[in-house]
Structure 1
């Protein structure tokens, strides 16, 4: 403003009035900024992406605008949990036996409220002891890198491992993360028929398994980069498997995320609301089994690869493998049911970019319900009319309410 035309006394009055008004505005602005910083100024943290393997930083409020003499009160909020695993749009009904286990009264708790208290040794010890196991590692997502594989002792009737949606167990790219084998004498024999016993009953829920690697582990044929199971029962609920690995060659070796053999009474392995991403193995970039039935519900499989060459049995002068970009199954009379699930962008060097299914006696069945299979190339072979699938079993795959392209 140009006030040169005013008398001197008027100019002084105007300047005094403007000074008072400006001071009022500064105080009001400072109060407004302080109010915004109390309870409402904290930014909402972005949920950790699938497969996150680092601890999330504490959330802090954005700095409010204020005067030098005014201090904003900043509230801190606990970091949000990662979004649920699996396919939230999946509509497959989940039977009672496939649901998450009740962990409200755990047998043992790993950690004492801080990330530092959740150690590899604590995980290994708790799994060996068995029972219902939960974690208390603080409010933020945490990664526990194992320095030894966690192994179930066969005396355990029930083992439930629940990460509460915040815990990642990592193999650090060097080792398998989890192992259960009722026919391994090192874990203790509990029956005379180790290949068919109903215990231990294992549940893995609300966890992430990252960077497991079973390369060179050939007990029971190998495979199972993150998790290997033989005998008893196993189910996986609301969990993620990311960047897991197993041997890159072998005609019948597989399961970068999960390899399962010999389930009690021929009962199926349940996989519910879970995500499998960027797994790599000779066969079965995510799941693999021999003679085992599966029920896969409301889950997601993406960017997994079967990288072997020569198929099964291996062609002359090849090491074998390369089938089942996401899922590889073999055996006689067994079933696979996939419902409410997305299988996309997986790849097989040989057969079945999405699913490889062989029932040697042609008695087994494959059902796909309410699911989407897309962009799952089979570089070698697949069943005509079923893109991304190789099937040998009873009749043809039974497909309903699904998209396969």
Structure 2
């Protein structure tokens, strides 16, 4: 086995330790059936509360359908051997808070799932001895005041299906409809959601644009989230949009910047089983850290066109065939995993990784990456990957002044590109730009007319076309400052 290592000595770095000729998981692991339960439970104690059956009704239109007893191989990469930390392992569900179903497929309904998830706690299923598929007629939504821990454990026999019509599972600490529990919803330690030993099939969040959309099977904002021994097949979200993504999972905000764990799980796994979305055919996030261990991500697609920011005349998107990660300070670690046969219409057939302020890091180790096609662009020397790290300098720090005072805005990657989003209360503005070079320690001044639309992302023209430079002492090495000042209001374009 040939191993390659790439070290990018910039503040946003990628360390790649990739198996050049690893073994793929067995073909059975890509099937659309439930994932068998792990042989051992994790170290976390179960909820001491007594269990309650929540098998609601026997409507045959929404009851579970039995599948053949013979299930596929366990989800994830059977050849992955990355150590799994205690907090990332499956939760012990031997003493559930509530049980969906009363022992038959017909007792396992969409209504029962929705009710159990809203009530919270440790949730298991009793749907009979054979694998079953529960077709969801409504999205199961977590109530933020319940829990604080919600564990959904399918026991390796349950598939939750969105029937190609709806998202399957939703958690959002900043959604008033689900209840506010703190004054800082974007950074709170609860609810803590775990999905394990489940299959999520045919979820579809197309048209769901709350929080920017995405998350065909699961959408999460806030609290904590992890996935263990689960399978995601044929999930979808909107096919266009510069920053929208996550056919299987979309995550925004996690408590104290702690990571989302994805362990022993499969996304796609076989031709025709992968997810499709504008960006991130499997996973997508903004400003969120991930640790992906011993998993398989294959046959997923980023189907948007025009990248981010969207090229003129395009709707945007098309990056990160399997994984799309954007933001500032966050980390991505992929270990013991297989990422293959994914496709992006634009950049990063396997992974699109952009740390706007160059403080983020990505590490890929002990993993197989192959046949991930990038139709538009990728980082030289890193097939299937687009990373903001090489060869760009540190991202500018933007300060924008206007009627509402000053605020800070992250910059997009690329020489001379900036991303300016005035607050929603501001009027449209025309901006002038001043850039300070970190390398030559010189001040460069240019003036550029830019339309600034409230609540929109607005591109500043290339700063590389500087006209005058004057010496400037005491510029900290490795930093870039840029000031954007309004020179006068203008109507919305």
Q: Higher helix proportion, which one?
A: 1
> Which of these residues, 337, 342, 352, is aligned with residue 341 of structure 1?
337
Q: 2:32 aligned with 1:51, yes or no? A: yes
> Which residue among 113, 122, 131 is the counterpart of 1:123?
113
Aligned length: 330
Q: For 1:49 and 1:265, how far apart are their aligned partners in 2?
A: 34
State the SS of the aligned residue for 1:370: strand
Q: Distance in 2 between matches of 1:387 and 1:240?
A: 26
Is contact 1:204–1:235 with CA below 8 Å preserved after alignment? yes
1:363–1:393 CA contact under 8 A, matched in 2: no
When residues 360 and 47 of structure 1 are mapped into structure 2, their CA distance, relative to the original with a 3 A threshold, is closer
Q: Report if the CA contact (8 A) 1:82-1:166 is conserved.
A: no
Map of 1:355 onto structure 2 = 351
C-alpha separation in 2, matches of 1:323 and 1:128: 34
Quick one: distance in 1 between partners of 2:266 and 2:179? 32
Match status 1:186 vs 2:203: no
Q: 2: distance between equivalents of 1:228 and 1:165?
A: 22
Deviation at 1:83, TM superposition (A): 1.6
Is residue 111 of structure 1 aligned with residue 101 of structure 2? Answer: yes
CA-to-aligned-CA distance 1:233-283 (integer Å, 9 cap, x gap): 000000000000000000000000000000000000000000001100000
Cα deviation for residue 395 of structure 1 reads: 7.9
Residues 57-115 of structure 1, C-alpha deviations (whole Å, 9 max, x = no match): 4xxxxxxxxxxxxxxxxxxxxx3443210001101000000000010000000001100
| Residue equivalent to 2:85 | 95
Which residue matches 2:202? 211
Structure 2 stretches of 5 or more lacking a match?
1-26, 35-64, 269-273, 393-493
Counterpart Cα distance in 2 of 1:97 and 1:286: 23
User: Do the aligned partners of 2:259 and 2:290 also contact (CA within 8 Å) in 1?
Assistant: yes
More strand by share: 2
2:29–2:75: 8 Å Cα contact kept in structure 1?
A: no
Q: Secondary structure at the match of 2:66?
A: coil
Identify the structure with bigger relative contact order (alpha carbons < 8 Å, sequence gap 6+).
2
Query: Secondary structure of 1:126's match?
Result: helix
- Structure-2 residue corresponding to 1:169: 160
TM-aligned CA deviation for residue 184 of structure 1: 0.2
Tell me which residue corresponds to 2:253. Answer: 262
- Match 1:372 to one of 368, 371, 374: 368
Deviates more, 1:47-56 or 1:89-98: 47-56
TM superposition outliers: structure 1 runs of 4+ over 3 Å: 46-49, 393-396
Q: CA deviation at 1:160?
A: 0.1
Aligned-pair CA distance for 1:295: 0.1
The residue aligned with 2:73 is 83
Query: Conserved in 2, the CA contact under 8 Å of 1:113 and 1:137?
Result: yes
The answer on whether the counterparts of 1:332 and 1:360 sit within 8 Å (CA) in structure 2 is yes
The aligned residue for residue 221 of structure 2 is 230
**What is the root-mean-square deviation of aligned Cα atoms in Å?**
1.5
Once the two structures are TM-superposed, the CA of residue 51 in structure 1 deviates from its matched residue by 1.2
Deviates more, 1:331-340 or 1:387-396: 387-396
Helix, strand or coil for the counterpart of 2:240? coil
Using the size of structure 1 for normalisation, the TM-score is 0.80
CA contact (8 A) 1:47 1:80 kept: no
Between the aligned partners of 1:48 and 1:331, the Cα distance in structure 2 is 32
How far apart in 1 are the matches of 2:255 and 2:390? 23
Structure with the greater alpha carbon radius of gyration: 1
Q: Is 1:386 aligned to 2:385, yes or no?
A: no
Normalising by structure 2, we get a TM-score of: 0.66
CA contact (8 A) 1:50 1:85 kept: no
Separation in structure 2 between the aligned mates of residue 222 and residue 242 of structure 1, nearest angstrom: 19
Q: How far apart are 1:50 and its partner, in Å?
A: 2.1
The 3-state SS of whatever aligns with 2:311 is coil
Q: Are 1:271 and 2:252 counterparts? A: no
Asked whether the equivalents of residues 246 and 255 of structure 1 are also in contact (C-alpha less than 8 Å), the reply is yes
